[in-house]
């Protein structure tokens, strides 16, 4: 089984993969590149294409991709370009036959920390406590790892990778809409 988690961003996309056919089974990291306000349309388009190409490469043979839903309250950067990246990446995944599950930021935070309004640092600390042997340094990595764990729970409810299911984690699943994923 292969699950990928994606916290999509132009500057620092967090990614994580669980692939029980690989060694190590769990991998994570970030990729992205900075842009500038004066970038041309062609420069911005190429940046989005490079990011979506990386997503596609990660998704090879995936059984499920779990993506963090777009944050409409987000500030800074180009919301327009980030929305384009999100939709192109999701479209590419679905076009390649990879089922995609969208998870709201608050549901992800509740699953990882027990609080739907957790800070970026809360996410990193919670994942570092859960996986002390992993070098989790960035909130994008912590988010992507949480998305993979959610995907694993959905495909294999008996998974113990992140311990026993807590009440807060079970509650977070109440808000995750599985219907579009199941269609």
Q: Could you tell me the residue range of the domain that residue 46 belongs to?
A: 2-182
Q: How many domains, in total, are found in the chain?
A: 1
Task: Say which CATH number the domain at 46 has.
Answer: 3.30.420.10
pLDDT of amino acid 180: 56
Residue 123: Cβ within 10 Å count: 26
pLDDT of amino acid 130: 92
10 secondary structure, DSSP code: S
Q: What is the pTM of this model?
A: 0.91
Helix 139-155 to helix 120-130 angle, to the nearest 10 degrees? Answer: 60
CB 145 within 8 A of CB 131: yes
SS3 (DSSP) at 118? coil
Q: Which uninterrupted H or E stretch holds 105?
A: helix 105-113
User: Within its chain, how far is the Cα of 50 from the centroid?
Assistant: 17
**What string of pLDDT tens digits covers the 183 residues of the chain?**
999 999 999 889 999 999 988 887 999 999 998 888 889 999 999 999 999 999 999 998 999 999 999 876 656 558 888 899 999 999 999 999 999 999 999 999 999 999 999 999 999 999 999 999 999 999 999 999 999 999 999 998 888 888 888 888 888 888 887 655 555
């Amino acid at each position: 089984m292969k699950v990928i988690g994606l916290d999509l961003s132009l500057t620092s996309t967090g990614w994580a993969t669980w692939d029980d056919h690989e060694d190590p089974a769990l991998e994570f990291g970030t990729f992205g590149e900075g842009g500038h306000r004066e970038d041309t349309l062609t420069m911005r388009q190429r940046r989005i294409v490079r990011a979506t190409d990386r997503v596609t490469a990660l998704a090879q043979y995936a059984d499920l991709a779990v993506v963090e839903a777009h944050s409409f309250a987000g500030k800074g950067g180009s919301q327009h370009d980030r929305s384009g990246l999100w939709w192109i990446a999701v479209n590419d995944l679905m076009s390649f036959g990879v089922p995609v599950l969208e998870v709201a930021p608050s549901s992800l935070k509740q699953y990882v920390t027990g609080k739907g309004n957790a800070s970026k640092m809360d996410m990193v600390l919670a994942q570092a406590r859960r996986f002390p042997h992993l070098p989790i340094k960035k909130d994008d990595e912590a988010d992507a790892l949480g998305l993979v764990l959610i995907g694993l729970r959905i495909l294999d409810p008996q998974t113990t990778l992140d311990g026993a299911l807590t009440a807060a984690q079970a509650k977070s699943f109440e808000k995750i809409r599985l219907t579009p994923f199941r269609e």
